[in-house]
């Protein structure tokens, strides 16, 4: 360990201003693990903001209004929650697993994610960036 690292062990991975935090929100931290090539969760949304960090592997990541990108181990990501649709969180690799950690702020007892119906996906198709 360098002298500088010993004196300042903090590394900022991301700074974001969440658009809202649900009333009486509680924080829930969890990990998700997908085997190689796993497509991830179907399009969904979260009830509040989510702060994530890829522990191992690479994630295909797409939020409504943003182009798909790959997030690698050691990189952080943010989802605003609410009405925004999360289209992809799948494993980008066909040979290694993906593990990521998420802290979600949500109302007590609320489901951590809600899947989006096909009719809504079709109606909002123009909001995706391909």
- The string of pLDDT tens digits covering residues 82-124 is 999 999 999 999 999 999 999 999 999 999 999 999 999 999 9
The first and second tokens of residue 35, run together, are 């085997």
The CATH T-level fold of domain 26-103 is Jelly Rolls (2.60.120)
Segments making up each domain of the chain, as ranges: 26-103
Q: Which of 6-10, 25-29, 35-39 has the lowest mean pLDDT?
A: 6-10
pTM of the entire predicted model: 0.85
């Amino acid at each position: 360990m360098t002298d500088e690292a010993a004196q300042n062990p903090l590394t900022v991975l991301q700074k974001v201003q969440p658009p809202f935090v649900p009333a009486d929100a509680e924080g829930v931290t969890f990990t998700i693990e997908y085997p190689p090539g796993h497509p991830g969760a179907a399009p969904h949304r979260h009830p509040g903001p989510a702060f994530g960090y890829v522990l191992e592997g690479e994630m295909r990541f797409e939020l409504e209004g943003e182009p798909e990108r790959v997030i690698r181990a050691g990189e952080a990501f943010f989802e605003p929650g609410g009405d925004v649709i999360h289209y992809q969180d799948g494993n980008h690799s066909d040979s290694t697993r993906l593990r990521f950690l998420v802290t979600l702020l949500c109302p007590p007892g609320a489901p951590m994610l809600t899947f989006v119906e096909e009719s809504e996906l079709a109606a909002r198709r123009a909001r995706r960036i391909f």
